[in-house]
Structure 1
């Protein structure tokens, strides 16, 4: 009679313990509090080792918040954005080739047979109109000017002149000034491509670190749930052992299981802290300091794999990927070099027209200076071998061919990236489905084994094995979800990122 009463009490205690296990392992009702005779060592609270540095916020942390923080304060991104300033500075420098130029020179001859002075001041303004240069100036010649320097003579007020110079062949269709400006304008596109590449890699890395942290939190939760089951069952096993229904070795085995699961909780806690530290490089406060996120901000659930993909991912990637835009801008820069080199092979043929008029009092005996003058000129020049221009042309054409090959390779690589990302997404989605089926079956086996144990048809060893199998299946499911989420980050990067114009399902995994 005493044995029957003890068995009834034991079944009630074990039943209450089973019902108290965490929901993630399919147990139902919480047990009443029990007193443990030999309490297990106190486990650290998640994040306890970093408690002084943890963020006090408790709202769940989302991926969008991490990405926004990284794009706002990540130090290397701030450095990368300076390339834009460098490109703007290069453009400003190139436009300086069209700055107004002022030249003045003077000479005084004070010793010798002739004593005189001369001053010549000139303003030149290059223009982008077929390489045309306009100019205007003033000059003055005073004193006893030798007759062989008669061109220095002016009236007492000097001479005003203005003119224009137009290149017909070399430097006509294109010259170095205009080529430098065009290349500098394209340099801004190159800089934007460099920045875009960095941003894509930053977004992918930040997403990886975020999902690593989330999955680490899920692993910790699984370890804690597994430990809770053993701790809840411990009192029931003790009572059953005291009643003589189970051997003391079963009681010791449960204590061993508790110690083993405590160790796993500590290891999972360390993994979560490590993931939080890695995430802090991307999650920063308004001042740019890294933020150690609290476990309290872990999202309550993981997103389910979805098949909402862009309808034409390869076409989209070829339109948006920054490295392709960068190479295309480099090719255009090189095409400018080719055009300039071809132009420089041509001979120089410049036409000029200059008008002048002396002002002020007439120098005695120099009345001819009062008449205005208009002078037209032609300048022809050509290096007969033209090796400099030909060498530059060959180099520019070779560089253009190289960039053309690189562009084709970039297109092929982008296509391969998209296909690989799609393959990874599909495989990860299948893994999640299979892992969930594995978990469902493991839970059913665990429940059946626990029922057999309650009826006295099994032992604690087999119950522990079933619980371990369920926990392993839960970990496999978490890792499969993590693989899908990381594959989603790879897919976003492969298609060139997402924007607010995209469908919500494409923006949010």
Structure 2
């Protein structure tokens, strides 16, 4: 009130000072678009690089660094899976020895050993040559001149028969590779969710900037009209001051909107990459794109909720990963159970010599070996840990299943509510714009006051921004809904 009285006195006593002050502020009518951005390469409409959501998602698949990092996890798992299969590789064992002085001996021994993949059976073949003087009780070390040839197999009958470390590593590494692929798929989907959020925030900030600039431009038109009225004697000079105050206020709003647009554009550019993998430095909205048009009259949750939930449980990569981990944990638990048994191994070997002094001698050897750990704490401890791990994975998977089901229900409700809210606020925006237009026409005809037309315009702008926020919120919820179902957010 005091401020208004001071302005009135100022306008009556020093009209030239008030009018001069009005010249110092920028005339919004002279502006043809939003203020130039500090980052000149980020453009609104002039860029040929249109940032559509499908292009952004494609960029994430091909050029986004975090996608490449996630995919490296698959390569790590592939390396581990290959290493696990190495347990079934051929193994070559070579041994050489000699004894000098009283008994001059030379022994050469070589074996080729392999465990048959997927079985406990180990086969081997070998050659041995023993020459020199041997003690009477070491006669078995002496071979024919051309050596002894042997072949045989070894098989566990209790421990390691149904499950052994080599087969367990091979099976679990294959499952963990499949689990990692599912995890990476879901991680990339979550990256796309974040990028889609950034995209809709950028879209919303652009239209907010456009609406704020439009409001700022109207203030410029108002200033021109009031100046003409003042010159014609149809309005008090104080009204010029009021319009200048309104211009300053709207200019502050415009600066805030420009900053919001800059921020959202830079955040989106982090996800939208060029062919070289660098953030885009120039992007614009597709011509003719209208934010309100993305809201259709159809209900967004018409699908059967049971079918949607089942689809989500089948499509979600994180659930698929846990299922593979559960299988791997079960295999490890079976190994731990098997390792509590005594170790009883059977071995059968056939050998023959060539060359003197044992030419043609043949042997068929059989052996049983029993190893029985008395305390067996290692095996029992491993079994305890494996059972706990199995239960941990099972509980995690069950909880995630419950969470997905509840998320689907919650998001369906949120999607429906946000859709209805957006439609109502879009209608409110349309009605507010009509009222503002009518009030401006009344003002131009001299049937309204500056106060009322300003209020109508500000209300229309507020309604437009609320409507845009509602549409963006709907689109962001829709993105989360799609990702929760294991689908691309588009």
TM-score, normalised via structure 2 length: 0.88
Q: Does 1:376 align with 2:366?
A: yes
* CA spacing shift, 1:168–1:298, aligned 2, 3 Å: farther
Q: Does 1:326 align with 2:326?
A: no
Q: What is the alpha-carbon distance in structure 2 between the residues aligned to residue 83 and residue 75 of structure 1?
A: 13
Alignment match, 2:27 = 40
Q: 1:436 aligns with which of 408, 426, 429?
A: 426
Q: Does 1:313 align with 2:302?
A: no
Is the Cα contact below 8 Å between 1:47 and 1:273 reproduced in 2?
no
Q: Does 1:68 align with 2:58?
A: yes
Q: What is the alpha-carbon distance in structure 2 between the residues aligned to residue 109 and residue 443 of structure 1?
A: 107
Q: What is the alpha-carbon distance in structure 1 between the residues aligned to residue 415 and residue 453 of structure 2?
A: 36
Q: 1:114 aligns with which of 103, 114, 117?
A: 103
Alignment match, 1:492 = 482
Q: 2:241 aligns with which of 235, 246, 252?
A: 252
Instruction: Write the deviation string for residues 149-201 of structure 1: whole angstroms up to 9, x where unpaired.
Output: 11101011110111111222211111110000001001112211321231121
Q: 1:207 aligns with which of 196, 213, 224?
A: 196
Q: 2:38 aligns with which of 44, 49, 61?
A: 49
Q: 1:124 aligns with which of 113, 119, 123?
A: 113
Query: How far off its partner does 1:386 sit?
Result: 2.5
Q: What is the alpha-carbon distance in structure 1 between the residues aligned to residue 164 and residue 456 of structure 2?
A: 80
Q: 1:158 aligns with which of 147, 150, 159?
A: 147
Query: How far off its partner does 1:86 sit?
Result: 0.5
In structure 1, the gaps of 5 or more residues are 1-35, 499-506
Query: How far off its partner does 1:37 sit?
Result: 11
Alignment of 1:328-343 (within 5 A): 328-343=323-338
Query: How far off its partner does 1:392 sit?
Result: 1.4
Q: Does 1:359 align with 2:354?
A: yes
Is the Cα contact below 8 Å between 1:214 and 1:299 reproduced in 2?
no
Query: How far off its partner does 1:59 sit?
Result: 5.2
Q: Does 1:348 align with 2:343?
A: yes
Q: What is the alpha-carbon distance in structure 1 between the residues aligned to residue 201 and residue 40 of structure 2?
A: 20
Alignment match, 1:12 = none
Q: 1:177 aligns with which of 166, 176, 192?
A: 166
Is the Cα contact below 8 Å between 1:47 and 1:295 reproduced in 2?
no
Q: Which moved more, 1:199-208 or 1:264-273?
A: 264-273
TM-score, normalised via structure 1 length: 0.85
Alignment of 1:387-406 (within 5 A): 387-406=377-396
Is the Cα contact below 8 Å between 2:129 and 2:148 reproduced in 1?
yes
Q: Which moved more, 1:64-73 or 1:39-48?
A: 39-48
Query: How far off its partner does 1:282 sit?
Result: 0.1
* CA spacing shift, 1:420–1:292, aligned 2, 3 Å: farther
Is the Cα contact below 8 Å between 1:226 and 1:261 reproduced in 2?
yes
Query: How far off its partner does 1:119 sit?
Result: 1.2
Alignment match, 1:386 = 376
Q: 1:275 aligns with which of 264, 269, 288?
A: 264
Q: What is the alpha-carbon distance in structure 1 between the residues aligned to residue 260 and residue 287 of structure 2?
A: 14
Q: Does 1:92 align with 2:82?
A: yes
Q: Match of 1:51, SS?
A: coil
Q: Does 1:193 align with 2:190?
A: no
Q: Does 1:288 align with 2:277?
A: yes
Alignment match, 2:455 = 465
Alignment match, 1:80 = 70
Is the Cα contact below 8 Å between 2:41 and 2:282 reproduced in 1?
no
* CA spacing shift, 1:133–1:453, aligned 2, 3 Å: same
* CA spacing shift, 1:295–1:59, aligned 2, 3 Å: closer
Is the Cα contact below 8 Å between 1:47 and 1:294 reproduced in 2?
no
Alignment match, 1:482 = 472
Is the Cα contact below 8 Å between 1:61 and 1:298 reproduced in 2?
no
Q: Does 1:228 align with 2:217?
A: yes
Q: Which moved more, 1:91-100 or 1:243-252?
A: 243-252
Query: How far off its partner does 1:244 sit?
Result: 1.5
Q: Match of 1:354, SS?
A: strand
Q: Match of 1:399, SS?
A: helix
Q: What is the alpha-carbon distance in structure 1 between the residues aligned to residue 480 and residue 320 of structure 2?
A: 20
Q: What is the alpha-carbon distance in structure 2 between the residues aligned to residue 167 and residue 37 of structure 1?
A: 96
* CA spacing shift, 1:37–1:398, aligned 2, 3 Å: closer
Q: What is the alpha-carbon distance in structure 2 between the residues aligned to residue 474 and residue 436 of structure 1?
A: 7
Q: What is the alpha-carbon distance in structure 2 between the residues aligned to residue 354 and residue 472 of structure 1?
A: 91
Q: 1:243 aligns with which of 232, 237, 243?
A: 232
Q: What is the alpha-carbon distance in structure 1 between the residues aligned to residue 173 and residue 428 of structure 2?
A: 59
Query: How far off its partner does 1:289 sit?
Result: 0.6
* CA spacing shift, 1:129–1:258, aligned 2, 3 Å: closer
How many equivalent residue pairs?
459
Alignment match, 2:295 = 304
Q: What is the alpha-carbon distance in structure 2 between the residues aligned to residue 415 and residue 465 of structure 1?
A: 47
Q: What is the alpha-carbon distance in structure 1 between the residues aligned to residue 273 and residue 467 of structure 2?
A: 30
Query: How far off its partner does 1:255 sit?
Result: 2.7
Query: How far off its partner does 1:39 sit?
Result: 5.2
